[in-house]
């Protein structure tokens, strides 16, 4: 799963895995249930097919997402799901999401508070 040889800290390493706008949204969508590609595309509004494909491949290479293929007759179905590592990453991102809801989505501006 190592993407670089060295990291400054744990946050640096984690951000290397989930960096960018779309990966955390993909993880959030997969937290509900395993999804097929089309379901994921609808569940992550605004993402292009190319970016979704690229990010799913990267998350799979990092051991965060697994890809399962099955066949029903001539129809091939591909489903994406979180691995146990992906579930633990989503759990770690939970407090960050709570912070965003509380401070940025609540309608009040956190940057006006002085500490």
The larger pLDDT score, comparing residue 108 to residue 60, is at 60
Say if residue 44 is exposed, middle or buried (CB neighbours under 10 Å; 0-12, 13-18, 19+).
Answer: buried
Q: What is the pLDDT of residues 51-75, one digit of tens each?
A: 999 999 999 999 999 999 988 888 8
pLDDT band for 104, please (50, 70, 90 cuts).
confident
Q: What is the pLDDT of residues 5-29, one digit of tens each?
A: 788 888 888 888 888 889 999 999 9
Alpha helices in 1-115 (DSSP H): 10-18, 21-32, 37-43, 49-61, 84-103
The reported pTM is 0.81
The first and second tokens of residue 86, run together, are 């992906």
Sign of CA dihedral 44, 49, 54, 60: positive
Q: In what order do the strands lie in the sheet with 65-72?
A: 35-36, 75-82, 65-72
- Measured between alpha carbons, how far is 106 from 28 in angstroms, rounded to an integer? 20
pLDDT band for 84, please (50, 70, 90 cuts).
very high
pLDDT at 111: 53
Weakest mean pLDDT among 19-23, 47-51, 73-77, 106-110: 106-110
């Amino acid at each position: 799963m190592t993407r670089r040889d060295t990291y400054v800290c744990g946050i640096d390493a984690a951000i290397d895995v989930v960096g960018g706008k779309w990966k955390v949204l993909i993880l959030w969508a997969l937290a509900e249930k395993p999804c097929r590609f089309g379901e994921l595309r609808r569940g992550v509004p605004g993402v292009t097919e190319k970016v979704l494909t690229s990010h799913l491949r990267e998350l799979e290479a990092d051991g965060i997402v697994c890809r399962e293929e099955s066949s029903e007759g001539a129809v091939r179905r591909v489903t994406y799901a979180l691995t146990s590592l992906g579930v633990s990453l989503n759990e770690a991102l939970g407090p960050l999401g709570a912070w965003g809801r509380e401070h940025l989505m609540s309608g009040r501006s956190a940057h006006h508070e002085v500490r």
